[in-house]
Amino acid sequence: MRKWLILGHRWLGVLLGLFFLLWFASGIVMVFTGGMPELSPRDRLDHLPPIDFARVRLTPLEAVRRSALTRGGRLSLLTIQGRPAYRIESGRVVTIFADTGERRNDGMEDEEALAVAASFLGVMPESLRHVEVLDAPDQWTIEMGGDMPLHRIAAGDSAATELYVSEESGEVVLATTRRSRALAWAGAIPHWLYLKAIRVHGAAWRQLVMWTSGLGTLSAAIGVALAWTQYRVRYAGLLRWHYWTGAVVGIFAVTWVFSGWLSMEPADWTTSEAAGARVPQTLSGVLDLSRYPAFDPGAWAEFSRTSGIGAVKELEFRSALDDPVYVVRGTRTVIAPVAPLRVRPDPFPAVEIVARVVRGAGGAPLASTDVLTGYDSYYYDRTGEAPLPALRVKFADPASTWLYVDLRFAQVRASFTRRERINRWLYHGLHDLDFPFLYGNRLVWSAVLVVLCAGGTMLSAIGVMLGWRRVRRTRPFARL
């Protein structure tokens, strides 16, 4: 039996050694950089021009009527191509300019894309270069197929900034720099096997990740077993180094590769029918756009001055417990009733929220409710951006659903079934060492991950060298 374990570990190592080396080495980079280049919501807002309320001539109701959409969706007001505009997202994006009421064309000329990019960067359009129009994803827009076509714009600055402007939205949707692209090549791309040639074929990429991580888990588990059974053997040279590094970090190799396999949700194992599918709609109620008045520039200037959010960059029109509200985004995001126009100072009543949650749960039995003023093990955010206070509602349904409702915005922020809570520990816990005692201390967490990944890199590099020696000694290579 031991002989077959050794042979299995050896040849699985030959097959997968380079994958392990890439995963561990790129993991060190990802401790500090995260994933692929992106335009975060905060960066997007920072670059949005303020809304010029003096130019807004249409009410939200008039804008929706001019859109000719037959069903509702997310409605917001922002500045697009230098003009205030209503954006209606209802399966597709429709933009109505708020100054004239005309509908924005879906297409975009190169000069228009350059103007959008120039406004984003605060430079003149003449300093930018239009590179191409993308009708299919490139390496950096792999997951943005729905935003095509995209205009790729080069800034020509010292950071080698490149922007992607969406014809559909009229906005910059992605920004990359030489540094972010290089870090992605060193981190996320090898770690996730995110090469464009593979990733654009979603089903094939998923199978590749599942098979490499699944067989990798088997190989690492055999290695750990051999570390226990072979402790009497006196290895020498590289084999000795491989044995001892495997004995020290081998168990982490098993848990990391296994949790990587779980990230693909094999057999959709976390999928279960959660309670409360209609809770978001019940919390909001009916959005009656006729209750929104025409914009008063003076009132909004006063709001910007007294609210502490600075210039208003974006408004979202929402209903909260059947009352019309503005979700106002500037330097921070606040909620404001239509009248009087001011930041809502207090959270919504928890008792009323609970009553609506129960109504929206469709008869699912209620187990317990708690108002959280701090994060728990499932609703949390290292940067502290997840809103508090939050209402945690536990249901006694077959999936044991937990809902988390933001009491300041009367909005569901998270939902977890029993399987998803288990996955939180098996995937995020094992893969990111996302445990409360460690994850909250960024310095200690980073140091632990770097040390373990460095040990894994050493283990894998030695394994690759040993595998190459073994392959060189096999018959097909004997004559080379």
Which string of DSSP letters, residue by residue, matches 282-345? HHH----GGGSPPP-HHHHHHHHHHHSS-S--EEEEEEETTEEEEEEESSSEEEEESSS-S---
pLDDT at 29: 96
Predicted confidence band of residue 475 (pLDDT cuts 50, 70, 90): low
Specify the pLDDT at position 476.
Answer: 53
Paired tokens of 118:
């120039």
Secondary structure (3-state) at 63: helix
For residue 351, what pLDDT is reported?
95
Q: What's the confidence (pLDDT) of residue 70?
A: 64
The candidate with the shortest Cα–Cα distance to 51, out of 311, 320, 353, is 311
Digit-coded pLDDT (tens) for 57-114? 999 999 999 987 767 789 999 999 999 999 998 878 899 999 999 999 878 999 999 9
The whole-number average pLDDT for the span 305-330 is 95
**Amino acid residing at 107:** G
Residues 6 or more apart whose Cβ sits within 8 Å of residue 227:
243, 246, 247, 250
The per-residue pLDDT for range 183-233, each reduced to its tens digit, is: 999 999 999 999 999 999 999 999 999 999 999 999 999 999 998 888 888
Average pLDDT, the chain: 92
pTM of the model: 0.91
Q: Dihedral sign for Cα 339, 342, 344, 345, please.
A: negative
Lowest mean pLDDT among 187-191, 213-217, 265-269, 457-461: 265-269
List, for residues 134-146, the tens digit of each pLDDT value.
999 999 999 888 7
Average pLDDT estimate for 468-478: 71
Q: What is the pLDDT of residue 272?
A: 84
CA angle 466, 468, 473 (to 5 degrees): 100
What are the structure tokens assigned to 6, written together? 């050794």
pLDDT band at 480 (very low <50, low <70, confident <90, very high): very low
For residue 88, give the H/E element and its range: strand 83-89
% residues pLDDT > 70 (the chain): 98
Quick one: average pLDDT of 43-66?
95
The CA-based angle 128-129-131, given to 5 degrees, is 145
CA distance 196 to 175: 18
pLDDT at 471: 84
The pLDDT of 469-473, averaged and rounded, is 83
Per-residue confidence (pLDDT) for residue 37, from 0 to 100: 95
Asked if residue 6 lies in contact with residue 14, where contact means CB atoms within 8 angstroms, the answer is no
